[in-house]
Amino acid sequence: MTTDHVDPDQRSDAERLPTRQDHYGASIGHDEEVVVIVGSGAGGGTLAYELTAKGIACVVLEAGPYLMPEDYENDEWASFQQMAWLDARTASGPYRVARDFPNLPAWVVKAVGGSTTHWSGATPRFRAYELKTRTYYGDIDGANILDWPITLEELAPYYDRAERAIGSTHRHGRPPLPANNNYKVFANGAEQVGYRFYATGPYGTNAEPYDGRPASIQDGFNFQGDKSTAKWSTAVREVPRALRTGRCDLRPGSQAVQITHDARGRANAVLYVDKDGSLHRQAAAVVCVAGNSIETPRLLLMSASALHPDGLANSSGQVGRNYMRHLTGSVYARFDKPVHMYRGETMAGIIADEARQDTSRGFVGGYYLETLSLGPAFLAAFIDPGEWGPGFTEVMDAYENTAGLWIVGEDLPQETNRVTLNASVKDQWGLPAADVWFQDHPNDVAMRAHGFSRADMLYEAVGALGVHHTPPYPATHNLGTCRLSERAEDGVADRWGQAHDVPGLFISDGSQMTSGAAANPTLTIVALAIRQAEYIADRLAKGAG
């Protein structure tokens, strides 16, 4: 067993998960000023561990339950009902998701660990140009492009730490995952069309035991949680370790409804509703919001005050704007022999050749091709929502002989793509639901067409009998809406994620992303959270908060 970064307690994290209860970890009083973290996913869960490990007390407010590995349902629809954020939300705009899934703009998790319990595990890094898109892309009509206020060089050591925490394969001596049949078809096609940069990772699922987690059992249920705990999530690693420090008070079933500030404008508390509907106030020295790019701006907009009439931290008018969800599309290819794409990891392969800046292709930015498998139930729901007939049955009848991949690419920020409050639709607490308005940029359309054409070539090169393109479905990568910016008028938070106009308020999830890049976002969210935790700890040590 690899020994670097192994917890001193040699029992596995799965063996040391808390027992089922309503309250976890330390008991912190509501009047005690601590770091209050809203959300326990990639950003919030990482912050909780990093801060408590430095001796800083934290209260973590999580809207969902604390699901244990034995709770996960290895059944697509049952798991979706168990884990997905199904509170009232609306989708709007001309994007097809608004037509096909008007009440489900995003497919994310409402539980401790957030969408790290649902993610596939891909951990590519941002490239240098993707953090400086204004510099590299210039002015693009309809896009609200901005350079990040940090560089890849600054982020690199935190990427190293995030990869070690996650256990990314192909990184820091970690071995690769084995190749399943879906990857073998994918890789053979990549070779045939001349791609050079393809592999079974990097992924955050263990190929061998590491850091208290076992090796993958290749069970094909990554989207439904991971009963074996081979796949990294903050529910398995960071949150339990934060609880064991004795300085973390985790409160599942706690929906944040307002952030308050003192007379000087400094964030000083979070109001939240517990699972019984009772309202509580938790005092805060610092507030970190990590509720996903939909819930984070929703909370800020619901926190309007006399000092912030348009929403907390919204003097720029940028809260909720510049929503990105990555350019996506799936391709399923039929063959004359069985592939059994569902065996092995859900995603277990990446082609990186198209993740580059090359405008000769007709667009800026780039994209990855990644292996993807859905079970029969989800494939039926997503291949062409609402359609039926011979084309549909042809795809479903060929399920065992099918290989699949996902296109994931950079989606340009647009001010009009935004999250707002829908006053006519309320959630179970009587609060305005989030509305997500989205429209593809022409750059997205061109990139998706290129991705589909390259995927077709890849599969046809290895004998595909036919291919099917799926339209985008509810977003799993939700980015932007509270972006980092050098100047306060251009965004919501500074280079450390602290709100420009609300001291003591930090944005700690994918909301802070200034650009989306081609990379799956989780690794970057974790790296930013580790970096932010260092900054917060240093500020608190100096009495600055």
pLDDT of residue 543: 84
**Class of CATH domain 24-90+105-119+148-165+233-324+418-436+481-545:** alpha beta
Q: How far apart are CA 227 and CA 145, in angstroms?
A: 41
* 10-residue stretch averages of pLDDT, the chain, 545 residues long: 34 58 80 97 98 98 96 93 96 94 96 96 97 98 98 98 97 95 98 98 96 92 90 97 97 98 97 96 98 98 97 98 96 97 90 98 98 91 84 91 97 98 96 97 98 98 96 93 98 98 98 98 98 97 81
pLDDT of residue 8: 33
Distances from the Cα of 110 to the Cα of 66, 115, 160, 307, angstroms? 9, 8, 28, 31
Instruction: Determine contact, residues 104/91, Cβ cutoff 8 Å.
Output: yes
The tens digit of pLDDT for each residue in 73-118 reads 999 999 999 999 999 999 999 999 999 999 999 999 999 999 999 9
SS3 288: strand
Instruction: Determine contact, residues 204/166, Cβ cutoff 8 Å.
Output: yes
Structural element, H or E, at residue 25: strand 24-25
Pairing of strands 279-289, 505-507: parallel
Q: How far apart are CA 270 and CA 283, in angstroms?
A: 7
pLDDT of residue 351: 98
Q: How far apart are CA 408 and CA 398, in angstroms?
A: 25
DSSP 289-345: E-SHHHHHHHHHHHT--SS-TT-TT-TTS-TT-S-B--EEEEEEEE-SS---TTSS-
The tens digit of pLDDT for each residue in 127-153 reads 999 999 999 999 999 999 999 999 999
pLDDT of residue 422: 97
Q: What is the DSSP letter of 225?
A: B
Sketch the domain layout of the chain as residue ranges: 24-90+105-119+148-165+233-324+418-436+481-545, 169-231+327-409+440-474
285 Cα distance to chain centroid: 27
3-state secondary structure string across 129-173: HHHCHHHHHCCCCCCCCCCCCCCHHHHHHHHHHHHHHHCCCCCCC
pLDDT of residue 388: 82
pLDDT of residue 1: 28
- pTM for the predicted model, two decimal places: 0.95
Partnered with residue 368 across adjacent β-strands are 408
Task: Enter the CATH code of domain 169-231+327-409+440-474.
Answer: 3.30.410
DSSP 35-97: EEEE--SHHHHHHHHHHHHTT--EEEE-SS----GGG--SSHHHHHHHHB--SSEEEESSSHH
Residue 457 phi/psi, 5° resolution?
-60, -40
Instruction: Determine contact, residues 113/480, Cβ cutoff 8 Å.
Output: no
The pair of structure tokens assigned to 162 is 């995030």
Q: Residue 480 — left, alpha, or beta (φ > 0 → left; ψ -120 to 50 → alpha)?
A: left
DSSP 432-462: EEEEEE----HHHHHHHHHHHHHHHHHHHTT
pLDDT of residue 19: 60
pLDDT of residue 3: 29
Instruction: Determine contact, residues 348/371, Cβ cutoff 8 Å.
Output: yes
Instruction: Determine contact, residues 62/275, Cβ cutoff 8 Å.
Output: no
Q: What is the DSSP letter of 394?
A: H
DSSP 458-522: HHHTTT-SEEEEEPP-SBS--B-SS-B-SSGGG-SB-TTSBBTTSTTEEE-SGGG-SS--SS-SH
Q: How far apart are CA 192 and CA 410, in angstroms?
A: 26
Residue with tokens 């309202």: 279
pLDDT of residue 10: 43
Look up residue 43 and give its amino acid: G
pLDDT of residue 447: 98
